[in-house]
Amino acid sequence: MTTARKYVLETLFQGTPKKSDLKIVEETLPAIKDGEFLAEAVWLSVDPYMRTLVNSSNIGNTMIGEQVAKIIESKNDDFKVGDYIAANFGWRTKTISNGDQVRKLDRSVYTDDKLSTAFGIMGMTGATAYLAFLDICVPKEGETLVITGAAGAVGSAVGQIAKIKGCRVVGFAGSDEKVEYLKGLGFDEAINYKTMTSLKEALDKACPKGIDMFFDNVGGEFYDTIIPQMNNSGRVVIVGYMSQYNSEKPDQGPRLNPSILAKELTIRGFFIYNWLPRWPEAFKAIGEWIDKGQLKYTESITEGFDNMFDAFAGLFTGKHIGKAAVKA
Amino acid sequence: MTTARKYVLETLFQGTPKKSDLKIVEETLPAIKDGEFLAEAVWLSVDPYMRTLVNSSNIGNTMIGEQVAKIIESKNDDFKVGDYIAANFGWRTKTISNGDQVRKLDRSVYTDDKLSTAFGIMGMTGATAYLAFLDICVPKEGETLVITGAAGAVGSAVGQIAKIKGCRVVGFAGSDEKVEYLKGLGFDEAINYKTMTSLKEALDKACPKGIDMFFDNVGGEFYDTIIPQMNNSGRVVIVGYMSQYNSEKPDQGPRLNPSILAKELTIRGFFIYNWLPRWPEAFKAIGEWIDKGQLKYTESITEGFDNMFDAFAGLFTGKHIGKAAVKA
């Protein structure tokens, strides 16, 4: 018998998540059975999507999310004590599993210093950047890409992949520090949307040949303004809509059907868990780019399971650069 | 020397087009030169897109549009007197052309009784129905398609093509007469949106397996309501946005990014003149379906060049069933 700690959803998020919406509780775990193992969280992920996937049916449940865990007890031959795994166990310190939907980490790739990349650049966020951008935006050399939420884990990787593919890359972010970070990654233009005077003018200036591709993490006024400024046959991938996550009333904006028709735009939604069979392809390419120094990644690390909510809340205040990760 | 009559745009349309926005004027045409011919309109087309393509730069110009014309004088060996053509000559009775962008009609296909189909089912509207539906909606047997503006020239053809492909077809139209027409064409469900109580309930009832494909001629509240009700991996083609054509202020609606992402929808605009190389493929298939009795078409004919504005205005009051055509 062992004790796990976990975050339970007490009340449904309304607007910006509050600390009191989640409660840390202790759970006594039974002995493991044949075929099972016990894993202890080493790294935990916080991601914006967690805000949107929680609904009233989740009240009383463990908060959802990915983690990297170490196997500390096992009656399953495929998962031995000392192995590391990535899994959607949620916000909890210890978990019993039979190995279903669990990804065992190849330690020659996920070395000690890279364990947290299993839910970052070599995990869900990297796979999202690679597959959503290449498959849906279908970049051609010389084309212009606009990225919102560009300093986030996904956006910063997309921009670098687009540079590898020979595109002009323009990113929006929410602080001068983030703008500097993006320029350091090779973005052609990085714009602090909090201090710019006009989004339309900023786009006109940063995109002299118009916009061919739009990788959207934010939605809202960015989406409203960028769609009408796109070039003919433009491609748009909707990966997030940060501007709406915490909004309490239905969000209204201009109906953009005239622009979509006249420019023959393609707009597509992307949800990474529908693309699992193609993750290995993404990791192979990303791993090679990292090894060659063509793709850099940053993590914003919060220490301690008890501080996990603060790391999560920081996603909505623009606190983090790159992938937000919690060290258990 | 001969005299043509033509409709000139006097004032830019504001809201619903007014008769006084256009003025019929006479134009004296010069003698034709070598390489030119003189053609006389036999049939003229009125289409909703004409409302949207006119802007302030068109004031003083001939109103845009397709016509079927007969060559009455020629100094061009490719276009002989007595030949019939389809061309974007606009709203005018006689035109001098050098044959550029002119489609000569094969009289074994476009027989006397089928001349007007050159801008209808065997012209732009048929090509739109075929290419926008098959290429963008990519129908699979057993899937459900919803069509707005279903009793129009394009919508009524799309529904029949979808039935040929084994789909469930649900169409919205604005009168009981149109609903009967659609049922007669084999639509599984046809709904009079002017008398239904709730669009959402109508969709729930008509689409028990959800909506896989949405062929949208209308936009507005239809679009707002249908997008969130679509199945995962749904395909949407925007061919028109009738609800916005005559609106004088920017149109607002809910931002639908959350549904587009969560369901991984694909939304694409379609503008038929970008697809010219593929028109012959469409006409071949459509011609065969017509010959086999699998595809029916209807025309709403207005007599007389002088009544052309009334035919055009009828597009926005729901007067026509099928393709609206004017007999010169």
Compute the nearest-CA separation of A243 from chain B (Å): 10
Residues of chain B with pLDDT under 50: none
Cα–Cα distance measured from residue B105 to residue B279, given in angstroms and rounded to the nearest whole number: 13
Beta pairing, strands B94-97 & B37-45:
antiparallel
Residue B1 is predicted with a pLDDT of 78
Q: Which CATH superfamily is domain A2-120+298-327 in?
A: Medium-chain alcohol dehydrogenases, catalytic domain (3.90.180.10)
Strand partners for A26? A5
Query: Does B104 reach chain A within 8 Å, measured CB to CB?
Result: no
Q: Find the Cα–Cα–Cα–Cα dihedral A108, A112, A114, A115, rounded to 10°.
A: 100
| CB neighbour list of residue A102: distance below 8 Å, 6 or more residues apart | A79, A85, A86, A87
Judge: B262–A241 Cβ closer than 8 Å, yes or no: no
Specify the length of chain A in residues: 328
Quick check: helix, strand or coil at residue B256?
coil
Residue B322 Cα to chain centre, angstroms: 9
Give B29's DSSP letter.
E
Widest distance between CA atoms in chain B: 64
Residue B120 amino acid letter: G
Mind listing the pLDDT tens digit for each residue in A65-119?
999 999 999 999 999 999 999 999 999 999 999 999 999 999 999 999 999 999 9
**B216, B263, B269 ranked by CB distance to A264: nearest:** B269
The answer to whether residues A269 and B263 touch, using CB atoms and an 8 Å cutoff, is: yes
CA–CA dist B288, B294 (Å, integer): 9
Look at residue A244 in the predicted model and tell me its pLDDT. 87
How far apart (Å, rounded) are the C-alpha atoms in residues A324 and B9? 59
Tens-place pLDDT, residues A213-245? 999 999 999 999 999 999 999 999 999 999 888
pLDDT of residue B52: 84
Closest to A191 in 3D by CA, of A160, A241, A220, A151:
A151
Task: Inspect the interface and report whether the beta carbons of A266 and B264 lie closer than 8 Å.
Answer: no
The reply to whether residue A255 touches residue B216, judged by beta carbons under 8 angstroms, is: no
The span from the CA of A262 to the CA of B239, in Å, is: 9
What pLDDT score does A246 carry? Answer: 77
Please report where in the chains the tokens 């707002």 appear, as a residue. Answer: B224
- Per-residue CA distances from B218 to A253, B113, B173, B235, B237 (Å): 18, 31, 10, 16, 11
Q: Is A108 helix (H, G, I), strand (E, B) or coil?
A: coil
Which residues of chain A are modeled with pLDDT < 50? none
According to CATH, the superfamily of the domain at B2-120+297-327 is: Medium-chain alcohol dehydrogenases, catalytic domain (3.90.180.10)
Looking at residue A38, its pLDDT comes to 98
- Per DSSP, the residues of A228-257 read GGEEEEEEEEE---HHHHT-SS--EEE--H
> Best of A222, A238, A266 to disrupt the B interface by mutation (most B CBs within 10 Å)?
A238
Give the one of A216, A265, A271 whose C-beta lies nearest to B264's C-beta.
Answer: A271
Residues of A with Cβ-Cβ distance to B53 under 8 angstroms: none
Tokens of B254: 């809910």
Give, as one character, the DSSP assignment of residue A64: P
CA-angle at A306, arms to A304 and A307, nearest 5°? 70
Q: Give the predicted TM-score (pTM) of the model.
A: 0.92
How far apart are the CA of B281 and the nearest CA of chain A, in angstroms? Answer: 21
Q: Kindly report the CATH class assigned to B124-273.
A: alpha beta
Which two structure tokens, joined as six digits, stand for B308? 């052309």
pLDDT of residue A122: 97
A246 lies within 8 A of chain B by CB: no
Sequence spans of domains, chain B:
2-120+297-327, 124-273
Which residue does chain A place closest to B274, by CA atoms?
Answer: A264
Non-local CB neighbours of B272 within 8 Å, separated by 6+ positions: B124, B127, B128, B131, B132
Task: Provide the b/e sequence for B120-157 (b: ≥16 CB within 10 Å).
Answer: bbbbbbbbbbbbbbbebbebeeebbbbbbbbbbbbbbb
Burial class (CB in 10 A: 0-12, 13-18, 19+), A42: middle
Please report, for residues A42, A303, B7, B150, the alpha-carbon distance to residue B215 in angstroms, rounded to integers and kept in the order given.
49, 51, 32, 9
Element (H, E) at B229: none
Q: Do A223 and B268 touch (CB under 8 A)?
A: no
